[in-house]
Every structure is written in structure tokens, then in C-alpha cells.
Amino acid sequence: CLFEYRQSQIPLIANRQEGFSDWKNINRIEDHETSPDHRKYFVQWKTLEARLKNSQSIDKSLQNAIFLEKERWRHILRAILNAILFCAKNNLALRGSTSEIGVQGSGVFLDIVELLSKYDKTLEDLISNHTKRSVNYLSPTIQNEFVNLLGKKVRNEILSRIRKLNAIVSCLIALLTSLIMSKCRKLFDMSI
């Protein structure tokens, strides 16, 4: 059993890298799966899996901290995305002559983030703890990544709509062609 093989009394039936390949003795798999050790380790594995899903493991506080940190960064990235969308919607330049928050000439984007931070504790903490070496997702590189991602999303939406319209136009052309041909036949039949 791979879960706790070191303590197991039963021999390993499969190579860890290659898996099981002894097809002549395939009944060894069933013998292994019905062994008391395998059942014990399987129950331990499923119990651990359930406890991890329900946040009941020893590292519950660590899992909770990771979840909270993930939500914090999602909140920050949403705010940054909304600031970029606002600038794009109003055709405003993102960057100024400097990329420092609170400095004159920092640009509309950083000014909007600074304004939002006055009403949002998470953004306020991000800006107040900002140092040159800290991660903050306010750099021009991140702005470019967001703009590129949004551009790809818009392009894919436009292409999707064009494909739908193309299908409609193709159907209309086929319908009009058959309609014109039937009218031509009627006119031809009348003239004979």
C-alpha cells in the first residue's frame, strides 16, 4: 500500500513509478485491497481527506490564514481591475511620469487607487505598507498584464459574435439563393 508502506506488513504489489504490470497474477490486487493493512490505510486516507475538506486538520489555522490571504489579494486585484476599467472606459492614460503613489505626476490609475484606499481598509493597508521590495500589484507590468488579458477577452467576444453572425449570414444567403432560383424558375416556366 503506497499510503503507509513503510509500516505495512504486506509486500508492495506495484512499482511506484511504473504501476502494476503483473497481469498473470492480477488476483494479487484483490488480495491486497482486502488486506487489513490496506483497509486501515485507506480509512486513514479518506479520514484525512474529509478533515482537510472540512478544515478540521491540525493545520486548520494555517489553512484559514491562506484562505484569508487569498481573499485579500482577490479583493486588491478586483480594485486594481476596476481602476483600470474606469481609465479605459473614460479613455484616460494609466501612467504618469512616476510610479510612486502619493507623488504628483503618478498618473490617473495610481491616483484612483489612492482615492479608493481612503474608503477601503485593505487598499489602505497595501499602500501604507508599500516598500520598493514588497509585492503590491500596482506596477506598470501588472497594468499591462491586465490590459492584455482584457484585450484578449474583448477580442474573443468579438470573434465569437462574428462567428455567430457569419452563420446567420450564411443561412440567409442560402435562403435568398434558393428563393431567387425558385422565382427564376417560375418566370422561366411562364415565358415558355
Per residue in 47-66, pLDDT (tens digit) is 888 887 876 777 777 878 88
Q: Enumerate residues 6+ apart whose C-beta is below 8 A from 8.
A: 1, 37, 41
Cell numbers of 96, please?
Answer: 504618469
Please tell me the total number of residues recorded for the chain in this structure. 192
Per residue in 96-141, pLDDT (tens digit) is 777 777 778 888 888 898 899 999 999 888 888 776 566 677 778 8
H-type alpha helices, the chain: 27-33, 36-53, 60-89, 108-117, 121-128, 140-191
pTM: 0.53
